[in-house]
Structure 1
Amino acid sequence: MAADPAAAAAASAVAAISAVMDWRSSPDARAAAFAYLESVKSGDIRALASTSFLLVQKDQASEIRLHGFKMLQHLVRLRWEELSAAERNEFANLTINLISDVVGPHEVWALKSQTAALVAEVVRREGVALWNTLLPSIVSLSNSGPIEAELVTMILRWLPEDITVHNEDLEGDRRRSLLRGLTESLPQILPLLYSLLEKHFVAALSEHSKQQIDLAKQHAGTVTAVLNAVNAYAEWAPVTDLAKHGLIHGCGSLLSYSDFRLHACEFFKVICQRKRLVDVAVAEYDAAICNIFQVLMNISQQFLTRSGMQPSSIDESEYEFATCVCETMVALGSSNMQCILADGARTFQFLKQMLEYYQHYKIALHFQSLLFWLVVLREPSKAKSVARVSGDNFTAGNSASTGDLSTEKEKKGVSLFVTDEIYSTILDVSFKRMLKNSGSASSGLLELWSEELEGKSDFCNYRTKLLDLIKVIASQRPVIAAASIVQRINVVFGDANQATKSPRDLDAMEGAQLGLEAVVSAIFDGSADYGKTDLEMKSQLHKIFEGILQQLLSLKWTEPNLAVIHGHYLDALGPFLRHYPDAVASVVNKLFELLTSLPITFQDPSNNSRLARLQICSSFIRISRAADKALLPHMKNIADTMAYLQGEGRLLRGEHNHLCEAFLVMASSAGIQQQQEVLAWLLEPLNKMWTQVEWQTAYLSDPTGLTNMFADSQFMWSIYHTVTFFEKALKRSGIKKSTTTPQAPTTTAAPGYLHPISSHLAWILPPLLRLLRCIHALWAEPFAQSQTGEIKAAKSMTVAEQASLLGETGKLTKGQVAPADGLLEVQRDGESKENNIKNWLRGIRDSGYNVLGLAATLGEAFFRCAEASSVTLALMENVQVMEFRHLRQLIHLVIIPFVKYCPADLWQVWLGNLLQPLFVHCQQALHYSWSSLLHEGRAKVPDSIGNLSGSELKAEVMEEKLLRDLTREVCSVLWALASPGLNSGLPSLEQLGPSNRMDSLKNLESFASSSLTG
């Protein structure tokens, strides 16, 4: 009775599937066909079942059958419970009968896989009972031939994979029940897998020797399928069971065969990533791991020997396999090192091979070994002081020969076996690999890191790992690390008297500088251990670093790139200077010598010299931070030199700001009184200029006045540098705050504490607010229409902002330098006025917002000093014409700090007036933009993107990014408003209690006064 309707439904489904897959179908036809198929899947379940079973019949095309299997899987996964028990039983039987339809020699592999997946779906739905019934029949089927055996192993593979991979469709109880059933079946499953592996591997070799290639391929396909199944069981089956039933031995035997070695190695990798469980039989487990260890060591040694003797004979497939072996050994050493450490000779052999991988030419092998050394050398870090008692000359060989050191081994782990030679070798390789493969940096001895490496982190992350390893070794073997880095520096410096260096040499020198910084910071920087180091080691370290310091002081480099590197080498020694301050005066004098050796040039399009000068000034900041109080006795000398250079016109304003910032860092180590004096000294000349009524009247009365300032480039950039120094003063002065952001509007210091800059806010803020108000008004009518073309163009995005939104990191070209780099003093020759104004506007907005946000962190000192009405007027008067990028910046840098730090009794005065217009505008703007994106496919934002060379797609990407960024920032404001610290008066829902909820809600009014959201 149902045959004809079922056949008709199947024919309709076939036509719909064909229409969906036919590229010649019109969009409407394809959409209609897709809708029909969805209606079948959601319609009558019995019709779905009958139609789908007709679709998977052998007389259908492969594409139709595949779709039919997908529909059957959909039914089992999502609608199984709608069938009665009898119907589910019938469905299961029909599914099992499908196995015979896909065992033909020419059957498509995808159909076999989907059949196996369907059987697994049914089994996991029906549970252990069906599995126990099915198991004997599939065991019997596996004996029929290679194709049947392949299908059986696919089924065996899918079942545990559904357990180990999180699947929301498989409930916890059913997962546990199925896992229990599979575990109970392991005595049948694992021997079956081993016998199939052995049987078909032997058969594949035999048929191949007889030139029966097709049969050999069938057997080889079965071997691969078995290995895939075995790998699925390796994730959860007891390791001792895998060993007992021969699978470790079987997979180990296949490591020598190119067709199977990657799959076999994956089996060992999965096992090695598992750690020994508490309830496992220790002796049996360790024996299995040791067996795996020996298998891996043998195959690894074969590769390393060939690689060392005949590297040209190894192709990429062998390197791929070697990488998998190395990764497996890393997993073994990271998760099961206790099994290796039980035998000293075995441990030395293992470490020797891992060191060879670290030294290897191929970066992929080196990278895997890097992960191993990071793990194992970090282990003894808690026992650094033990290792230092005997200095750097402790050798593992003296103790490894004894057999009663298990307790010591447990405490110190691998460090007991790592010799000084191993440490030195690792450091040597690490310093050499600090380079990136490029046109300027390449090495015939090493394959350097490159972008083509798949699955690896970017170069910065890779180099961070190298530096972490260097720091770990330096903290354990400081003298060895110090000697190694000095040796590397001498190599990369070459002829120190050479006036210029090649790009490759510069890259090598920069890499060695990073190594020096890592070593010095690990030994000296903030480490209480250095004070406990014995005198002999201190003497050795002092001699080594004093030697490199004298070498640096004697250099006479004047080329900009070399001068920058020279300054970085000097500031890398900052932590050393903290403990040995006698050399500080020489370093300071050398930095000033470097600075004055470079000319001030405004005509140089590349800015090399000016950028170098700015970098050298930055070195003062880094040394001040690292050397701590060691620079305090030299503050007057530095101040006198600054004044002299400024008087001679040999110190630019941006450079002066950097040196003043260094002064603030120095003063921060001397206490609040010293900070106040230094800050007053630094701010006094700015006060005189900043508070003058004349310039404010001329330029800040309205936006037209501000546009007149754009004609005076020198004064314009003077204002910029003044604002940026206010920002630096807020960042660098005061007591050192915790890195944790406070959630409550409380001060970060003790009662009575007054931040050194608090007394200056009264004169800093009013002109700044007027300046920001004028900038905001440039986007408002009528001023926006009356502006010149240059000013209108200057309000569009900078190239740096465009690149940031697009995720591009390309270098900026001439005229596109962001003002934050401190390079811009006046308009440079060749630079357009448009770019000059654009950079200035961005820089003032960045620093101005930062000043307000940082000032807000002072709490009452700011909120009771500033006029709330003036702040609200400056920030919110033209909020409705703000571009999304500016609005996001305002919220992030200003509004959120205001919310977090505003005193409770001023919430209404400050936050009420600020947030109301902000939220009204954001709600309207975001609603409009999101609606445009959802209904028209493009986010309409008010931002002026600028010239993108006609790329419409880039503009769409940037618009959506702007919309998402602003939305995320508005959510951050709401999160801050709702944070517990600002709503301490509100009880939690648990405290309100479930009973009489309405009465509880009425009581909330009593908490409103102490809660921001109340």
Structure 2
Amino acid sequence: MHDKRNLEKKLFLRTLREAVSRAFSHGLLFSTILSLLLNTHFLSYYLAMTRTRTYDTNPEELYADGDVDEGIASTMTYLQTEGVLLRAEQNLLGEAFLVMASSAGVQQQQEVLLWLLEPLSKQWTQSEWQEAYLTDSTSLVRLCADTQFMWSVFHTVTFFEKALKRSGFRKGSMSSENSSKTNSPAEHPMVSHLSWMLPPLLKLLRAIHALWSPSVTQALPGEMRAAMLMSDVEKASLLGEGKTKLPKGALTFHDGSQFDISREAYSEPNEADIRNWLRGIRDSGYSILGLSATLGDSFFRCVDPHSVILALMENVQQMEFRHIKQLVHLALVPLVKFCPSDLWDAWLEKLLHPLFLHVWQALTSSWSSLLREGKAKVPDLHGVLAGSDLKVEVMEEKLLRDLTREICSLCSVLAAPGLNAAVPSLEQAGQVSQMDDSSVRDLAAFASTSMVGFVLNKKDLAIPILKICIEAFGWTDSEAMSKVTSLCGLVILLAISTDNVELREFVCKDLFSAIIQGLTLESNAIISAELVGLCREIFIYLSNRDPSPRQILLSLPCITLQDLLAFEEALSKTGSPKEQKQHMKSLLIMATGNKLKALATQKAVNVITNVTSK
């Protein structure tokens, strides 16, 4: 009995200390923490529990009495009413209680979430503020002039994001009543809250995105236009310069930068406040969509895809590179990963097509400018700085590379094994390729079982994605290139496994040629083995069905027909992929007159991909 009580005491002190230390580390006044915690029934409840009752050492016991929640709620409400507790501070304490509840089981999580989120939902779902502030971008300007409500919206969105992150199931946290229902898993505790949060949030994101539309931007007040430009802190971050030290009560953005959350106490928002508000809503809004997508059916089957697509893609062509990067990383990657396959048509085609179409054009233009003129010319710095300043060039190149890598990461997600389990292995595909065309499958057969198969069956979607893959071989960024190769590998597999002539011609001509061209760049040395492997797969399994691989090899400057025949004979004498790759590498080096820098023998390869030779 004594040991059990000691364990309970340790558990209580640990959870209480976690709540206090988390709040205190964010700059919450110690007097506020004490007044909050000591005026609740927390301590009296604990004393009553240890004196009169015996419990198993289970975190659920800390939340077994509704009076605890009521005491905390009434105290927090009182302190906020008295002006002692700001919304930002309330959010920090709320997050601390979410941390404790996450160890207490599903039912307790749901109760704590209801207590924390119900007051927010009542305000968030009111039609009056949505009609006043979310009808168009002009009304959003009025919202930014209403300081108190502006920060109220901000803290509602950011706290909902934290609630999604802090909630869910952990190993060992499922109660016995839920863990016994193996055929009917417990619903995520945040599912019931998505229906009231998402509709206004999507309207808000749509209105923010519209601010960058030229027709809207030119009509905005000067302060709002200035707030839409990149801050000095963001510029310094791009340049790798030291971060500005801010107060402890600072909110951290997804890229690591911060701003002071105590700004809500000021009467008039300035340019920096509006900029941070826009950025915080955008980042947290994207994060909420991405985290919601991880809930699977509970999100995808209960949310209108049109409203999500409209909010995210209506003005994607006006987005700056850093905004698209955040959109892809926080929202689109999870949406692709967790979308049920029977909903790919409803969700992904219209979501991904406008993105890839715009990004392909934007990246092509910026990379062409960078490689020819040494200046990337990205939209993020328009109106901020001009001229040939070296710092501008460095920032532009950093923004370009960041977006390029994020888009290529999205391409690698499309090729993830879990989303393409139905695609045969290379060995299986190779066996099919030895048969006549009547033995291979139609490409449409993979549309519902393979994400890459789905993409390739949607021609309008496939074209910009495949063009990005082709052009990435000429961009001097090995990190981006390494992410694209997995998608290229699956495209090759499907070309081998199907009877689609158009796909086969693309792989044998465009892709094969682009890979060889990519080997001329020293920046691709780190992935040269993978690129040679792709060349081998195309030649071994497709050259008997399409003449392009042979024609491309024979077009290289230092090869003869006899060389090619000798190469084919060498391939026929070995079934070892490793030896075949070595034969392919030797042929490419010889055929190009040793011009493939990625294959050049070096004692030490040190490729710097963030600096472009001028």
Q: Does 1:580 find its partner at 2:15?
A: no
CA contact (8 A) 1:577 1:630 kept: no
Q: What's the counterpart of residue 294 of structure 2? A: 857
Q: What's the counterpart of residue 167 of structure 2? A: 733
Q: Does 1:613 find its partner at 2:43?
A: no
SS in 2 for 1:684: helix
- CA 1:923 to 1:616, structure 2 compared with 1: closer, same or farther past 3 Å? farther
What is the CA-CA distance between 1:616 and the residue it aligns to?
A: 8.8
Q: Where do 1:21-420 residues align within 5 Å?
A: none
Q: What's the counterpart of residue 228 of structure 2? A: 795
- CA 1:1003 to 1:988, structure 2 compared with 1: closer, same or farther past 3 Å? farther
What is the CA-CA distance between 1:862 and the residue it aligns to?
A: 0.5
- CA 1:614 to 1:717, structure 2 compared with 1: closer, same or farther past 3 Å? farther
Query: Which of 443, 446, 449 is equivalent to 1:1007?
Result: 446
What is the CA-CA distance between 1:913 and the residue it aligns to?
A: 0.7
CA contact (8 A) 1:985 1:1011 kept: yes
Q: Does 1:707 find its partner at 2:141?
A: yes
Query: Which of 419, 424, 435 is equivalent to 1:996?
Result: 435
- Could you say which structure has the greater relative contact order, defined with CA pairs below 8 angstroms and 6 or more residues apart? 2
Q: What's the counterpart of residue 351 of structure 1? A: none
Q: What's the counterpart of residue 602 of structure 2? A: none
Q: What's the counterpart of residue 350 of structure 1? A: none
Unmatched segments (≥5 aa) in structure 1:
1-534, 543-575, 596-608, 622-626, 739-748
CA contact (8 A) 1:696 1:767 kept: yes
What is the CA-CA distance between 1:732 and the residue it aligns to?
A: 1.0
CA contact (8 A) 1:713 1:826 kept: no
Query: Which of 754, 766, 773 is equivalent to 2:206?
Result: 773
Q: What's the counterpart of residue 975 of structure 1? A: 412
Q: 2: distance between equivalents of 1:586 and 1:881?
A: 47
- CA 1:673 to 1:967, structure 2 compared with 1: closer, same or farther past 3 Å? same
- CA 1:591 to 1:630, structure 2 compared with 1: closer, same or farther past 3 Å? farther
CA contact (8 A) 1:665 1:732 kept: yes
Specify the code of the residue in structure 2 equivalent to 1:580: K
Q: What's the counterpart of residue 691 of structure 1? A: 125
Q: What's the counterpart of residue 189 of structure 2? A: 756
What is the CA-CA distance between 1:692 and the residue it aligns to?
A: 0.7
- CA 1:718 to 1:775, structure 2 compared with 1: closer, same or farther past 3 Å? same
- CA 1:686 to 1:813, structure 2 compared with 1: closer, same or farther past 3 Å? closer
- CA 1:590 to 1:826, structure 2 compared with 1: closer, same or farther past 3 Å? closer
What is the CA-CA distance between 1:991 and the residue it aligns to?
A: 1.1
CA contact (8 A) 1:985 1:1010 kept: yes
Q: Where do 1:864-883 residues align within 5 Å?
A: 864-883=301-320
Q: What's the counterpart of residue 672 of structure 1? A: 106
Q: 2: distance between equivalents of 1:708 and 1:887?
A: 26
What's the TM-score once normalised by structure 2's chain length? Answer: 0.61
Q: Does 1:922 find its partner at 2:359?
A: yes
Aligned length: 412
CA contact (8 A) 2:422 2:449 kept: yes
What is the CA-CA distance between 1:612 and the residue it aligns to?
A: 4.6
Specify the code of the residue in structure 2 equivalent to 1:672: V
What is the CA-CA distance between 1:855 and the residue it aligns to?
A: 0.3
Q: Where do 1:835-846 residues align within 5 Å?
A: 835-846=272-283
- CA 1:855 to 1:681, structure 2 compared with 1: closer, same or farther past 3 Å? same
Q: What's the counterpart of residue 462 of structure 2? A: none
Query: Which of 394, 397, 402 is equivalent to 1:957?
Result: 394
Q: 2: distance between equivalents of 1:806 and 1:912?
A: 36
Unmatched segments (≥5 aa) in structure 2:
38-57, 173-181, 454-614
Query: Which of 147, 150, 165 is equivalent to 1:716?
Result: 150
Query: Which of 316, 325, 332 is equivalent to 1:895?
Result: 332
- CA 1:805 to 1:630, structure 2 compared with 1: closer, same or farther past 3 Å? farther
What's the TM-score once normalised by structure 1's chain length? Answer: 0.38
CA-to-aligned-CA distance 1:209-230 (integer Å, 9 cap, x gap): xxxxxxxxxxxxxxxxxxxxxx
**Quick check: which has more Rg, 1 or 2?**
1
What is the CA-CA distance between 1:631 and the residue it aligns to?
A: 5.0
What is the CA-CA distance between 1:668 and the residue it aligns to?
A: 1.8
CA contact (8 A) 1:628 1:669 kept: yes
CA-to-aligned-CA distance 1:90-140 (integer Å, 9 cap, x gap): xxxxxxxxxxxxxxxxxxxxxxxxxxxxxxxxxxxxxxxxxxxxxxxxxxx
- CA 1:949 to 1:630, structure 2 compared with 1: closer, same or farther past 3 Å? farther
What is the CA-CA distance between 1:636 and the residue it aligns to?
A: 5.3
Specify the code of the residue in structure 2 equivalent to 1:888: K
CA contact (8 A) 1:795 1:944 kept: no
CA-to-aligned-CA distance 1:770-822 (integer Å, 9 cap, x gap): 000000000003111111111111001233322322222332479x9767567
CA contact (8 A) 1:856 1:863 kept: yes
Q: 2: distance between equivalents of 1:787 and 1:614?
A: 42
What is the CA-CA distance between 1:583 and the residue it aligns to?
A: 4.7
Q: Does 1:885 find its partner at 2:325?
A: no
CA contact (8 A) 1:945 1:955 kept: no
Q: What's the counterpart of residue 745 of structure 1? A: none
CA contact (8 A) 2:378 2:400 kept: yes
Q: What's the counterpart of residue 809 of structure 1? A: 242
CA contact (8 A) 2:322 2:399 kept: yes
What is the CA-CA distance between 1:942 and the residue it aligns to?
A: 0.7
CA-to-aligned-CA distance 1:580-635 (integer Å, 9 cap, x gap): 2465698599879x97xxxxxxxxxxxxx9835399979x99xxxxx966854765
CA contact (8 A) 1:986 1:1004 kept: no
What is the CA-CA distance between 1:1010 and the residue it aligns to?
A: 1.2
- CA 1:656 to 1:945, structure 2 compared with 1: closer, same or farther past 3 Å? farther
SS in 1 for 2:215: coil
Query: Which of 655, 658, 672 is equivalent to 2:92?
Result: 658
- CA 1:1004 to 1:859, structure 2 compared with 1: closer, same or farther past 3 Å? same
CA contact (8 A) 1:672 1:735 kept: yes
781-790 or 580-589: bigger deviation: 580-589
SS in 1 for 2:229: coil
- CA 1:911 to 1:673, structure 2 compared with 1: closer, same or farther past 3 Å? same
Q: 1: distance between equivalents of 2:71 and 2:7?
A: 17
CA contact (8 A) 2:145 2:269 kept: no
Query: Which of 341, 349, 358 is equivalent to 1:904?
Result: 341
What is the CA-CA distance between 1:947 and the residue it aligns to?
A: 5.6
Q: Where do 1:425-464 residues align within 5 Å?
A: none
Q: What's the counterpart of residue 215 of structure 2? A: 782
CA contact (8 A) 1:819 1:840 kept: no
- CA 1:1000 to 1:717, structure 2 compared with 1: closer, same or farther past 3 Å? farther
Q: 1: distance between equivalents of 2:287 and 2:18?
A: 31
CA contact (8 A) 1:610 1:823 kept: no
Identity of aligned residues (%): 55
Q: 1: distance between equivalents of 2:361 and 2:15?
A: 60
CA-to-aligned-CA distance 1:397-428 (integer Å, 9 cap, x gap): xxxxxxxxxxxxxxxxxxxxxxxxxxxxxxxx
Q: 2: distance between equivalents of 1:824 and 1:871?
A: 29
SS in 2 for 1:756: coil
- CA 1:694 to 1:997, structure 2 compared with 1: closer, same or farther past 3 Å? farther
- CA 1:978 to 1:585, structure 2 compared with 1: closer, same or farther past 3 Å? closer
Specify the code of the residue in structure 2 equivalent to 1:928: S
CA contact (8 A) 2:125 2:196 kept: yes
What is the CA-CA distance between 1:665 and the residue it aligns to?
A: 2.0
SS in 2 for 1:735: coil
Aligned-CA RMSD value: 3.7
